[in-house]
Structure 1
């Protein structure tokens, strides 16, 4: 466990790419079971509560609640948009504009577990908003710093892919195969502590191979 912060209410940690947030697959490691095993080893109740998720191939910083009360308060912050999430993504389209706001309407296909952009009039559509700016360039790669304002299924992945700028390694959405997990990292989360109300922020540096030549690599 790569633990960044812990107290009686919350646990903030790094999730490696390739590890699920939570899974029902027997024998497959996930973050919830790892945290519960860690808590049990300290003679604490193994009651990790999922507040937000990261896709299995995505690395990043996450917060888990240790009580249901803390989980409810953190979840409310996500609903109220006071829970902040920032990502780094590597794309291989040099001509992609260096900054902008992307607004789309998305639908998740439960059969394929993929999302797609649809018209606003689609009754199933959910609004998706992010802002980004390019913060590094190398070879034919561009590193985007992304502020995520809504947490839709595969949101960053499909919003970039729909503009012919898929994330490097994201073969599900047309990205080039690198043999690594996709080059997407949740590098910052910010929220109010569920008990004290103190504003907290946590940052990590990407460890993924496709970030290695960037200025933000860990």
Structure 2
């Protein structure tokens, strides 16, 4: 698999994998190898398929973020998964390490976000701002140590850079995030944001599918036990 990319789930309709960090999901201006192309090539090779391989992108992760992702292997599966995303029956749960403490152990953050396509940055704006989009997430603080909090995030909307912007706006920028937490992070640090659970009704069988991936056992993730992180996803 590309970049030691682990397969979490595969059938005729779906491919669930662990996205490696620092690989773009799809082709971007850098021209670097992208996950979508690598997965198509891998499926073509593994199944000895002639011609072009279909691989549908139904959700995205920022380039520096790793973890569970699902791709559609047919256009029908892609259409049904996209509908699950729209109807919010597609569940996205992240683990992240942030600086400081959030105001409560459990809470909901709701903001209006505005993206600047030229600078590829997102800011929190006032309600009614033209182009602003509602962003909602629920969070649970799982632990606090050495000035950092381990936080579980249930993403209820899928806005660009949403978790990074909303938590930074709440006073708790993500560990390693140079874009929204440059004042408290050092260049070269890997952002501590991981797609830990993706859940959805199977596009054909309708049975619930859950893809689970835990962050790597390295700093700052290893400040907390793997058991605690795993338990939080159940």
Name the TM-score, length of structure 1 as normaliser.
0.94
1:189 aligns with 2:224: no
Partner of 2:214: 205
Q: Is the 8 A contact 1:193 1:200 kept in 2?
A: yes
1:30-64 deviations in whole A, cap 9, x for unaligned?
21111111111122352111110000000110000
- SS state of the match for residue 35, structure 1? helix
Segment of structure 1 superposing worse, 206-215 or 158-167: 206-215
1:58-78 deviations in whole A, cap 9, x for unaligned?
011000001111000000000
Partner of 1:29: 33
1:68 pairs, out of 75, 97, 100, with 75
Partner of 1:10: 14
1:143 aligns with 2:150: yes
Q: CA deviation at 1:204?
A: 0.9
- Whole-angstrom distance in 2 between the partners of 1:144 and 1:124: 29
Aligned 1:84-95 pairs, distance under 5 A: 84-94=91-101
- Whole-angstrom distance in 2 between the partners of 1:205 and 1:95: 22
Q: CA deviation at 1:171?
A: 1.2
- SS state of the match for residue 212, structure 1? helix
**Closer/same/farther in 2, CA of residues 119 and 113 from structure 1, 3 Å limit:** same
Partner of 2:87: 80
- Whole-angstrom distance in 1 between the partners of 2:163 and 2:48: 39
**Closer/same/farther in 2, CA of residues 171 and 27 from structure 1, 3 Å limit:** closer
Q: Is the 8 A contact 1:35 1:46 kept in 2?
A: no
1:180 pairs, out of 185, 189, 192, with 189
Q: Is the 8 A contact 1:107 1:125 kept in 2?
A: yes
Segment of structure 1 superposing worse, 183-192 or 204-213: 204-213
Name the TM-score, length of structure 2 as normaliser.
0.88
**Closer/same/farther in 2, CA of residues 27 and 111 from structure 1, 3 Å limit:** closer
- SS state of the match for residue 63, structure 2? coil
Partner of 1:160: 167
Structure 1 unaligned regions, length at least 5: none
- Whole-angstrom distance in 2 between the partners of 1:27 and 1:108: 23
**Closer/same/farther in 2, CA of residues 170 and 84 from structure 1, 3 Å limit:** same
- Whole-angstrom distance in 1 between the partners of 2:30 and 2:105: 44
Q: CA deviation at 1:153?
A: 0.6
